């Protein structure tokens, strides 16, 4: 049978406590959005101050993404052993240290190393945050809740970009990192108070597990319990709702497909978000107009994630995600053809940001449905980590192509391909989910 705590979170209306948890998760995603794009907003100033060529700038842009990939592979799985809340708090401290130290970097090598360190914290933190948001959302609103995290990412990048534009003009690139570090430090008390233990503690049974479960039930205004269910009952409940009784070969195939989808989408996403401010300058705009273009991309991301969140509670995830992938590819082609035209590029950036961020939100909504609770952080972490590999490759490749004389429009044409190609693995995943006769997760059935 279902444990009382699991039943309380999955069924019925969202409690005020569940809504608060999602607000905290969105706030943490906002930090992720700004921290990741701090270098992108500062790229033109850094390139001017340190006389960086395209390859060096590409390496700097990829450094944080490399750290995020390592965080997904190495740090995030630690949550399945020590708990997700403790890991999030430790990662926040690492992010603060990395951002503040980046503001004091004296060489390119120092800044690259510090970006890797910051990325480790972000990559490890965001997987656990995504899992906690998924666990505390009700069945009906789970996809929407995870998509809201992507909205938080873009909201953080938008607000951070707007502030950075003011700071960069007056105080230089170091001020952007200083602002990010201080902002992250201010959010730690919010995370300490508002981020609860993960629901996996029912199966993991840490010290004082019963007290922790009852604390969560009290915050949800539910009656407490006298004892936890037997391990066998927990496993049985997990198998009844999340486990897939399917051949190992199909499990491996589904995992490889989500890895491929993440790698393709992240490559395109981080190309657009990391390089667009700089490429708009190369296309003939001023540095401030380039930053404005980056801000508008993220403003569009807020719109896209908000719409995706609202619609995903009522529509089918496979339709929404597939549509977002195709629209993103088409918009990239159009944006590349008109990137030098200010009157087109700025409004088009909003639409492009909405589409590509909806793609990322869709993948984050889909991935937790593929793994049982005890291994969900590991499964999501590895999927996101594989996506970061694509994200790492994109800035490096663009830097080399620029040094070899590639024009701005050709770069956007090239990166339309990953979004269009991602339709194939995504369609295959949904095909196998629908064919799986023993799939019992009600939310997954409705979502696909």
- Domain of residue 140, CATH code: 1.20.1250.20
Q: What is the mean pLDDT of residues 85-104?
A: 92
The yes-or-no verdict on residue 92 having pLDDT over 60 is yes
Domain that holds residue 155: 10-447
The yes-or-no verdict on residue 170 having pLDDT over 50 is yes
- Position 2 in a domain: no
- Position 313 in a domain: yes
- Position 152 in a domain: yes
CB contact burial 265-285 (16+ within 10 A = b; e otherwise): bbbbbbbbbbbbbbbbbbbeb
Domain count across the chain: 1
Check residue 326 and give its pLDDT: 96
| Tens-place pLDDT, residues 232-241 | 444 444 444 4
- Position 403 in a domain: yes
- Position 5 in a domain: no
| Tens-place pLDDT, residues 56-77 | 887 887 788 788 878 877 887 7
Conformation bin of residue 323: beta by default, left when phi > 0, alpha when psi is -120 to 50: alpha
The yes-or-no verdict on residue 28 having pLDDT over 70 is yes
Query: Which residue in 258, 293, 283 sits closest to 383, CA to CA?
Result: 258
- Position 423 in a domain: yes
Q: Using alpha carbons, list the distances in angstroms from residue 268 to 113, 199, 324, 338, 355.
A: 24, 33, 13, 18, 12
- Position 4 in a domain: no
How many beta carbons lie within 10 A of that of residue 149, not counting itself? 27
**Residue 252: Cβ-neighbour burial (10 angstroms; 0-12, 13-18, 19+):** exposed
| Tens-place pLDDT, residues 173-193 | 888 889 889 989 998 999 998
Check residue 445 and give its pLDDT: 41
- Position 3 in a domain: no
Q: What angle do CA 62, 73, 325 make, to 5 degrees?
A: 65
């Amino acid at each position: 049978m279902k444990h009382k705590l699991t039943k309380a979170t999955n069924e019925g209306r969202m409690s005020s406590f569940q809504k608060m948890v999602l607000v905290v998760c969105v706030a943490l995603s906002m930090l992720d959005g700004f921290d990741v794009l701090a270098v992108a907003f500062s790229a033109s100033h850094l390139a001017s101050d340190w006389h960086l060529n395209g390859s060096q700038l590409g390496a700097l842009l990829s450094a944080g993404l490399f750290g995020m990939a390592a965080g997904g592979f190495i740090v995030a799985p630690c949550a399945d052993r020590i708990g997700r809340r403790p890991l999030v708090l430790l990662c926040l401290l690492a992010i603060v240290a990395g951002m503040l130290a980046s503001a004091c970097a004296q060489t390119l090598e120092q800044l690259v190393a510090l970006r890797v360190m910051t990325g480790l914290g972000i990559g490890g933190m965001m997987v656990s945050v995504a899992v906690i948001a998924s666990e505390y959302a009700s069945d009906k609103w789970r996809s929407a809740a995870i998509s809201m995290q992507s909205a938080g990412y873009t909201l953080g990048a938008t607000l951070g970009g707007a502030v950075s534009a003011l700071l960069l003009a007056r105080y230089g690139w170091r001020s952007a990192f200083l602002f990010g570090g201080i902002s992250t430090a201010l959010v730690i008390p919010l995370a300490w108070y508002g981020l609860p233990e993960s629901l996996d503690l029912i199966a993991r049974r840490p010290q004082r597990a019963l007290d922790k479960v009852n604390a969560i039930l009290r915050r949800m205004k539910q009656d407490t319990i006298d004892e936890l269910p037997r391990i066998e009952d927990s496993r049985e409940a997990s198998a009844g709702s999340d486990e897939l009784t399917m051949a190992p070969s199909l499990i491996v195939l589904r995992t490889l497909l989500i890895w491929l989808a993440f790698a393709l989408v992240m490559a395109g996403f981080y190309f657009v978000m990391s390089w667009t401010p700089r490429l708009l300058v190369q296309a003939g705009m001023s540095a401030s107009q380039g930053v404005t273009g980056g801000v508008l991309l993220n403003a569009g991301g807020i719109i896209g994630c908000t719409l995706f969140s609202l619609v995903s509670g009522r529509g089918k995830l496979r339709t929404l995600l597939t549509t977002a992938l195709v629209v993103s590819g088409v918009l990239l082609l159009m944006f590349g053809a008109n990137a030098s035209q200010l009157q087109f590029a700025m409004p088009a950036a909003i639409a492009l940001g909405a589409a590509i961020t909806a793609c990322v939100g869709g993948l984050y909504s889909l991935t937790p449905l593929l793994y049982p609770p005890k291994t969900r952080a590991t499964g999501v972490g590895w999927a996101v980590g594989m996506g970061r590999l694509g994200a790492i490759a994109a800035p490096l490749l663009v830097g080399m192509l620029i040094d070899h004389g590639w024009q701005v429009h050709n770069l956007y044409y090239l990166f339309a391909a990953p979004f269009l190609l991602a339709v194939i693995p995504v369609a295959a995943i949904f095909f196998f989910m629908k064919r799986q006769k023993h799939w019992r997760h009600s939310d997954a059935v409705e979502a696909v």
